């Protein structure tokens, strides 16, 4: 059994060695630096809790363990964020009804349906519900800049699809 001082020094060595790997993996999964930092922090706590299971502070098995732990932690955070809305549904502004022409309505709905999930949600929240890019980002669990890109790209794809359909 290791003394606390030796265990802490070994843990610090492990964390220093693999922190960059942990951040890179979490960032790749989450797509956001702030969320990646949260995931690395959570993974570090889990690593410390299970540190006695490791045979050595640095090595291929430790690297693999840290990578799997970080990936699972990031995926858990991603799942949690996907289901959390920053604004409860009752606080979202009322969305206007779609166009009264049934054919046009079906065309618009089909074009919206063809958009990727996050773009569709961003376009609907911004265009129909009148949310700002910041509010859209909060609801999607991403930055304002990413929300602006999702809205812009979604609108461009929507325009293109509607031009082709009409």
Q: What is the pLDDT of residue 22?
A: 92
Quickly tell me which residue has 């289901």 as its tokens: 83
142 is in which domain, residue-wise? 89-165
Please tell me the total count of domains within the chain.
2
Q: What is the pLDDT of residue 149?
A: 94
Give the whole-angstrom CA distance, residue 39 versus residue 51: 17
Give the whole-angstrom CA distance, residue 40 versus residue 57: 17
Give the whole-angstrom CA distance, residue 142 versus residue 68: 24
Q: Do 113 and 61 lie in a common domain?
A: no
Choice among 31-35, 61-65, 88-92, 145-149 with the minimum mean pLDDT: 88-92
Checking if the pLDDT of 104 tops 90, the result is no
The last residue of a domain, from among 83, 104, 123: 83
**Is there a contact between 125 and 139 (Cβ–Cβ < 8 Å)?**
yes
The last residue of a domain, from among 28, 48, 83: 83
Q: What is the pLDDT of residue 124?
A: 83
Give the whole-angstrom CA distance, residue 132 versus residue 144: 9
- The mean pLDDT of 98-126, rounded to a whole number, is 78
Q: How high does pLDDT run on average in the chain?
A: 82
How do residues 115-135 score in pLDDT, each as one tens digit? Answer: 888 888 888 888 877 788 998
Q: Give pTM, 2 decimals.
A: 0.49
Q: Do 160 and 112 lie in a common domain?
A: yes
Q: Do 42 and 58 lie in a common domain?
A: yes
Give the whole-angstrom CA distance, residue 111 versus residue 20: 41
The backbone torsions φ and ψ at residue 92, rounded to the nearest 5 degrees and listed phi first, read -70, 145
Q: Do 76 and 113 lie in a common domain?
A: no
Q: Do 78 and 12 lie in a common domain?
A: yes
Give the whole-angstrom CA distance, residue 117 versus residue 15: 36
CATH number for the domain that contains residue 119: 1.10.10.10
The last residue of a domain, from among 83, 99, 116: 83
Q: Do 72 and 95 lie in a common domain?
A: no
């Amino acid at each position: 059994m290791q003394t606390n001082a030796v265990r802490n020094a070994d843990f610090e060595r492990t964390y220093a060695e693999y922190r960059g790997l942990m951040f890179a993996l979490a960032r790749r999964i989450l797509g956001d630096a702030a969320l990646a930092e949260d995931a690395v922090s959570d993974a570090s706590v889990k690593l410390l809790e299970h540190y006695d299971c490791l045979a050595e502070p640095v090595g291929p098995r430790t690297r693999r363990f840290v990578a799997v732990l970080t990936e699972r932690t990031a995926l858990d955070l991603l799942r949690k964020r996907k289901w959390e809305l920053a604004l409860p549904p009752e606080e979202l502004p009322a969305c206007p009804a779609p166009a009264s022409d049934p054919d046009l309505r079906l065309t618009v709905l089909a074009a919206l349906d063809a958009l990727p999930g996050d773009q569709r949600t961003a376009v609907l929240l911004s265009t129909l519900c009148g949310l700002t890019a910041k509010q859209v980002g909060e609801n999607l669990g991403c930055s304002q800049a990413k929300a602006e890109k999702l809205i812009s790209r979604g609108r461009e794809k929507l325009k293109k699809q509607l031009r082709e359909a009409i």
